[in-house]
Amino acid sequence: MNEKTLLEAVVLAGELMLVSGAEIYRVEDTMNHMLKRSEYEQTETIVYGTGIFVTLSDPNKEPLTRVKRVADRCTSINRICLVNDVSRHFCEGKITVEEALEKALSTLLHTPIDVTGAGRTDAGVNARLMVAHFDLQEPLELPLDCHQLAYRLNKMLPRDISVSQILPVPSDLHARFSAKRRTYHYYIHTRKDPFRRAYSHEIHYALDFDQMNAAAQMLVGTRDFQCFCKAGSDVKTTVCDLYEARWDHLDGEAWCFTISANRFLRNMVRAVVGTLVEVGRGRLSLQRLEEVLAKGTRSDAGESMPAHALFLWNVEYDGLEPQENGVSAK
């Protein structure tokens, strides 16, 4: 979230509180607390009964100012509490993507909203694209403007979450169970690079990527992947249809592992990458890998790789092409 987007989010939070009957000092306190995330040297918030004024100033940056007129006011303690919760969690960095979406949607649509995502990711894993759905009970007070709803959601959400698209879908479409294919990317680099370290895992030993690709091809197909499932996971089956697994050279010392399947087990992708790295180091032969795949347990496979270099890259559905970070309504 850039400074302009942060400013819009702060103004929207203040507007929602003011129109809901919150005291002026409480509105200013919430807005000022959120503005602590700004990189500007000085911030100022002024709230009146009929309007909001916010300015960000810094000798080294272009000043930013927003003025918002508030005409109608009512009393809604629930909405005030929701905005306060989102802003507090936003500042503390303790809110999940699902919780942030639920709180923001519930506030904007004036009704409790439950959000269901296409799947779960381990803590620290990134998502270039995630699909979620929520059930909306009719009738609404006004027709749902999906474009405007996405715009207003992005004003309320933390900087780490972006909604690119909201669209109505058939009532039987489920973000998780209707997904046909999921794709992950895992990034590594084999030389120290400060510009990659945030989203790529640094490896200091030589790797044989030809052998790693040969091992990756052994994974493709329908089989039991119990050896890559985190111990203690509550799943009915460990059988997955794996469609694609390969290493691609990006540039210089950077590589990307792409893996696609109908479903993934808990911690599976990071365990697969760790196992392929063992092959690349010459510590695990292809023959031994086949034995591990056939009847091995989690302790027989490689270690789980760090989460920060893993990205949920795509989620595919029949007849639906969601944009990055899309959220669907039904």
Q: What angle do CA 131, 101, 235 make, to 5 degrees?
A: 55
- Gap between the Cα atoms of 190 and 255, Å rounded: 9
* Cα dist from 239 to 223, 231, 261, 293, 294, whole Å: 5, 15, 11, 12, 12
318 has catalytic annotation: no
CB 5 within 8 A of CB 155: yes
Of these residues, 114, 122, 208, 210, which one is catalytic? Answer: 122
Residues 6+ apart with CB under 8 A from 236: none
Q: Which residue has the tokens 């992950």?
A: 184
Do you know the residue count of the chain? Answer: 330
What interhelical angle do 3-19 and 146-156 show, nearest 10? 100
- Which amino acid, 313? W
Count of other CB atoms within 10 angstroms of residue 120: 11
What are the beta bridge partners of residue 202? 189
- Gap between the Cα atoms of 197 and 37, Å rounded: 23
CB 56 within 8 A of CB 32: no
**Residues annotated catalytic, as ranges:** 122
